[in-house]
Amino acid sequence: MNLRDLKYLVALAEHKHFGRAAEASFVSQPTLSTQIRKLEDELGVALVERAPRRVMLTPVGHDIAERARRVIAEVDQMAEIARRSQDPEAGTVRLGMFPTLGPYLLPHVVPGLRERFPRLELLLVEEKTDQILARLRDGRLDAGLLALPIHDDQLHVEPLFEEPFMLAVPRQHPMAARDHLRLDDLDDQHLLLLEEGHCLRDQALDVCRMSGADERDGFRATSLETLRQMVASGVGITLLPMLAVQPPIPPSPGIHLLSFDGEPPHRRIAMVWRKSSAMDAFLRKLAREFAQLPPDLLHAPGSGDAPPSTL
């Protein structure tokens, strides 16, 4: 058994197709297939169920692939320890972000990151929260930007900032005559929400529970931009994160934004990574850069209100 064959098995587990797994491993399909069979012979068990149009791992194959991921991640950590001992601020960081944060945060932080860490290669992966957590645990990501709470004793959590929500309503909506509202003004309102799996959906549902609002039946958006367009079209109202309404995002003519009086509903954003990571010291530096947002980004556009403090 060698590390190369374990990588082939992990590739097959991820792609569920010999051809795509071979392509991802930069080998021919016969080579990958032969090495998987050799691994099965060595272990004395079937790892793969082979069918004409699909490939599935057997239960033991699945278990071994999961362990192989951890072995590969640990070997990668050894190489990372050695490399970062020579140049701690260079190399590659694989960073995961969820879709309702990444496009709106990155324009404000990437220029500063390039200036602060000129030798850093930042590889960004946009996925839903559960996928980011899974990739963190098995070593396919080095860190993630996620919304709290995160319940995992194996992960270090570094809080960055609180991002308030604003209420987006159509221009013809009765609330469009106002600029502010109280949380309980949402009582009996029906909000447009994202589909299952988006953390923003869970956060919006929390706001609904606190305010007495609920979800509008018969509609679930696949993206934040779909929600924005539906509000602009007069279909309904929704909550938008503050960064999603700041430049360079252009204002939507059909949408009126309302901020909340008092303590606004918000989400807490943190950077998380494995406690065992060889990058721990560097990731703490990187987290500090993400926390240093321009001061006007976390309060309503055109507002003179003081922004919420970072954590």
Q: Residue ranges of the alpha helices (H) in the chain?
A: 3-15, 18-25, 29-43, 59-86, 102-116, 129-137, 199-211, 224-232, 280-291
Q: Please name the fold of domain 164-265.
A: D-Maltodextrin-Binding Protein; domain 2 (3.40.190)
Check whether domain 91-161+267-298 has CATH 3.40.190.80, yes or no: no
Crossing angle of helices 3-15 and 59-86, rounded to 10°: 120
Q: How far apart are the first and last CA of the chain?
A: 47
Average pLDDT over residues 158-169: 95
Selecting from 1.10.3210.10, 3.10.180.10, 1.10.10.10, 3.40.250.10, what CATH number does the domain 3-82 have? 1.10.10.10
Q: For the segment 10-55, what is each residue's pLDDT rounded down to a tens digit? A: 999 888 889 889 999 999 999 999 999 999 999 999 999 887 677 8
Q: For the segment 275-305, what is each residue's pLDDT rounded down to a tens digit? A: 988 889 999 999 999 998 887 898 887 654 4
**CATH 3.40.190.10 in the chain, residues?**
91-161+267-298, 164-265
> What pLDDT shows up at residue 242?
94
Q: Which two structure tokens, joined as six digits, stand for 68?
A: 């192989």
